[in-house]
Amino acid sequence: MAERGARFSLAWRLLAFEHRRLAAAAAGVAFAVILMLVQIGFYGAMIASATQVHRNINADLVLVPADFEYFGSVHNFARVRLMQAAADPEVADVTPIYVSLVNFKNVDTGDYRSIMAIGVVPGRHELMLPQVLAHEDRLKIAGHVLFDRRSLKAYYGDVPGRFEKRGPFRALIDGHAVTVDGLFDLGTSFIAFGNVVMGTQTFFALRPDQRPDLPSFGLIKLKPGVDPDAARARIARALNASDVVVETKQQFIQREVDYWNETAAIGFIFIVGTLMGLFVGSVVVYQILFTDVTEHLPEYATLKAMGYPDRFFAGIVFEQSVFLSLLGFVPGLVLSWLIYRYTAATTGYTMDLTFPKAAGALVLTTGMCVIAGLLAMRRLRQADPAELFR
């Protein structure tokens, strides 16, 4: 116990002896932490934004066009497939949903910007968003829409502020007058920086090139107690169609994640960014600890000559590595939280610095520092105490 306390004290004293070097090491680790957490945060925001509609649909199964790539791409299928799926005895309800990019006129500047339009059948509770459910009756009125409160103001103007001050007001979508009759919370995505929800009557008035018999997706609700996987397989066999795919809600979500991870390779980019953070931090910590070991070789040699084993010195460098990881992690965590807050406020993406993210970054940071410290220890392990005094 006494030896452990002495080692702990020695590790800290050796590390803190050069204040500037310690500050530089902590700054390097903090930079690595920021780089890792920001990359992890952006990746999480990408996944959350790409699947936000998927997670909020009211369905157990989803009919998806066979050539579907990602949410927002123009794909559809014959609505008769949805009617055929409804023939299954364990299906409680089916309903189509329509999506398309439209142009919303900025209420402040007059510029047109792309926005995601989601057409639903009013009263069918297709989107399980509280504000949409509460104002769904308003969607039965032709030309009335609900606007996403979290849409980017820089693109569409201060629509929420205007609505809260004046109530329902007129806006323009693709040159057609609509009435913003309510707000809901969903969020931006990589496809569009905002969303509007409308009834199908309004949707087809704005998009006459799209047809009611060609929905973007089909939502299938099963009767209580029915196994979604078994129902999916049965309905797929019954349809035996090449133009649609039957998926569970989770499979529908995973399909979107796979597209951005694999086809678009965005996930790979964020992984590379995280690894770069680890590499940068490792190099900084290695250089600091290697220099520290080299400068204190005479002191280490004395302890070696007194009979202290290599594990004692490994313990010193290990504890120095942990010290550095903690000293750099705390400011890195705080600065990352500020970056998360700023990014969320300016882009509308969901950027939450959750405990699992912070814990994962701490584990990576500590591991990075420990590995760098062990590499730096090779200089001491290979040294002969007698040679150190020459």
pLDDT tens sequence across 201-216: 999 999 998 899 999 9
Predicted confidence (pLDDT) at residue 99 exceeds the cutoff of 90: yes
> Can you give the pLDDT at residue 108?
92
Per-domain residue ranges of the chain: 2-49+266-389, 67-241
The span from the CA of 387 to the CA of 202, in Å, is 86
Give the model's confidence band at 380: pLDDT under 50 very low, under 70 low, under 90 confident, else very high.
low
> Can you give the pLDDT at residue 144?
96
> Can you give the pLDDT at residue 242?
87
> Can you give the pLDDT at residue 70?
80
Q: What does the pLDDT look like over 175-203, one tens digit per residue?
A: 999 999 999 999 888 788 899 999 999 99
Q: What does the pLDDT look like over 58-75, one tens digit per residue?
A: 999 999 998 888 887 778
CB 163 within 8 A of CB 183: yes
Give the model's confidence band at 384: pLDDT under 50 very low, under 70 low, under 90 confident, else very high.
low
CB 313 within 8 A of CB 380: yes
> Can you give the pLDDT at residue 1?
46
Predicted TM-score (pTM) of this structure: 0.78
Q: Over pLDDT 70: what percentage of the chain?
A: 87
Give the model's confidence band at 8: pLDDT under 50 very low, under 70 low, under 90 confident, else very high.
low
- 9 vs 185 pLDDT, higher one: 185
**3-state SS string for 6-49:** HHHHHHHHHHHCCHHHHHHHHHHHHHHHHHHHHHHHHHHHHHHH
The span from the CA of 284 to the CA of 23, in Å, is 12
- Mean pLDDT score across all residues of the chain: 85
The span from the CA of 320 to the CA of 15, in Å, is 7
> Can you give the pLDDT at residue 355?
87
> Can you give the pLDDT at residue 283?
77
Mean pLDDT on 336-364 = 84
